[in-house]
Amino acid sequence: MILPVARMGEPVLQARAEEVTEVTAPIVQAFITDFVETFHALNGVGLAAPQVFKSWRMVIFQLSKDRAQARGYHEAVPLTILINPVIEYLTDETDLVWEACFSIPDMMGEVPRCKAIRYRGVSPEGHLIDRQAEGYHARMVQHECDHLDGILYPMRMPDMSRFGFVNEIRQRLMTPSEASPS
Ligand code: NI
């Protein structure tokens, strides 16, 4: 079942989501089925459970090779469902890159994110996931995990003049190399 997407202003997007206590429970597994189906229908790179009105600590992401290269990242990221994630920042260095979000349709903004992270969590099968990530991979994990703490990307922006409608930004603010297909 494809789930509805919560848009900015919904309280579920402002709450701290709850830990998933029993990953293999039927109620959790049933949600994961819908969560994956919804993610594929949206055709994006990432989604967090609160964005589909479920206040659980769970995110999903995937970066195809083409999309990775369009974002200056060298490798694809397989479809990953990450439950109860924890992020460790491996550097103080950040970079500033355009982001968008299904909960803030038609808009985008330039957001600083840590360049390199380690993230850990649990898979739907209950296995430990422990990876290091940099560049766009690190960015999308940080964006999705922020949703679990009630943070939307504009709240991370130091310069709100770099926030606006996708069409206008692509035409006016982006450099040609940044205006790559999403
Ligand atoms: Ni988002």
Over residues 11-21, the pLDDT tens digits come to 999 999 999 99
Q: In what order do the strands lie in the sheet with 107-114?
A: 94-99, 107-114, 163-165
Section 6-34 average pLDDT: 98
Distance CA 135, CA 155 (A): 20
Question: Could you tell me the residue ranges of all domains in the chain?
Answer: 11-178
pLDDT of residue 137 exceeding 70, the answer is yes
Distance (Å) from CA 140 to ligand 1 centroid: 9
| Predicted local distance difference test score (pLDDT) of residue 179 | 60
Distance (Å) from CA 143 to ligand 1 centroid: 6
pLDDT of residue 181 exceeding 50, the answer is no
pLDDT of residue 25 exceeding 60, the answer is yes
Distance CA 151, CA 22 (A): 25
Least confident range of 62-76, 113-127, 140-154, 155-169? 62-76
Q: Which residues are catalytic?
A: 144
Find, among 105, 70, 89, the residue nearest to 176 by Cα. Answer: 70
Distance (Å) from CA 132 to ligand 1 centroid: 21
Phi, psi of 91 (to 5 degrees): -155, 160
Instruction: Indicate the CATH number for domain 11-178.
Output: 3.90.45.10
